[in-house]
Amino acid sequence: MQDPALDIHMEIRSTIDIVTARQQGRELAMEAGFAGSDVTLIAAAISEIARNILDHAKRGELVFSLITKGPDHCLQVVARDEGPGIADVTRAMQYGYSSRGGLGVGLPGAKWLMDDFEIESVIGKGTKITMRKWTRHGNRRPLTSH
Amino acid sequence: MQVPILKQGSYLIASIQSALSDADMLQLRDDLAERVGRFRARGVIIDVTVLDVIDSFATRTLRHLAHMLNLRGADTVIVGIQPEVAFAMVQLGLTLEGVGTVLDLEEGLAFLDLKIKHHARPGP
């Protein structure tokens, strides 16, 4: 169950927005009842995908949603940009690969930190990354493979 | 948010007070590189206790910073990485290779004392 009216939209245009976005994510994660270490993992993942927007598309948006499924809660973060798109998603998800001289840790790292991670990218149109983390009570969803 | 840098003997202590943007991190790197020369510092302690996230950019900047300071003749030690932050760094596969890391400020001072004394010791 997800209430779109409660979604939080955040513009990502400068590196300061990265700090604001991960603070926002941290607050939401705490509200959703995540454990302390999970809150930090979520904040770190947000930092990486927000930076990915800036590096590749210059600007974009993060949308935070809280989703409830039975006894479980989930924080979903969608990163959307209208940048150049990712030519080779498989390659972009390879640890240590960077198209711009970074560590090549951002996207694969964010995937490791979260439970679900999906990329849709169209060249010339933009990229949408959806990632989710689930609280650990109730029936935990299986982890996506690392 | 500028990071205050204190001078303590031949050491500089940069005590991060709040979350830092990328620009703040780069500013810290440049400030330290300059001050190591100005104060002829032999060692630098960077206290990251308040940081709630050390992501790939912060890791890379800290690594570059330590390398730069090393080229300027000063040893760097990072102190105060919180347990959850360390956990997230491990999950992200981030390492601070070549950079000293110890528990807290006290250990940081001891680390630099040991390292710098060791360097200063005349060879056999």
pLDDT reported for residue A95? 78
* B85: closest chain A residue by CA: A40
Q: Which residues of B touch A112 (CB under 8 A)?
A: 91-93
Please check whether residue A102 is in contact with residue A92, taking contact to mean a CB–CB distance below 8 angstroms.
no
Q: Which residues of A touch B56 (CB under 8 A)?
A: 48, 51, 102-103, 105-106, 109
pLDDT reported for residue A138? 45
Q: How far is A20 from chain B (nearest CA, A)?
A: 9
Cα A133 to Cα A121: distance, rounded to the nearest angstrom: 21
Contact: B91, A40; criterion CB under 8 Å = no
Q: pLDDT digits over A17-44, tens only?
A: 999 999 999 999 998 889 888 999 999 9
pLDDT reported for residue A1? 72
Which of A101-105, B65-69, B97-101 is the least confident region?
A101-105
Span B30-44, average pLDDT: 96
Which regions of chain A does DSSP assign to beta strands (E)? 8-12, 60-69, 72-81, 116-122, 126-134
Q: Which residues of A touch B28 (CB under 8 A)?
A: none
Q: Which residues of A touch B83 (CB under 8 A)?
A: 37
Which of B25, B26, B92 has the most A C-beta neighbours within 10 Å, making it the best mutation to test the interface with A?
B92
Cα A40 to Cα A51: distance, rounded to the nearest angstrom: 17
Cα A62 to Cα A48: distance, rounded to the nearest angstrom: 12
pLDDT reported for residue A42? 96
Mean pLDDT for chain A?
87
pLDDT reported for residue A139? 42
Which among B46, B51, B54, B33 has a CA at the least distance from the CA of B6? B46
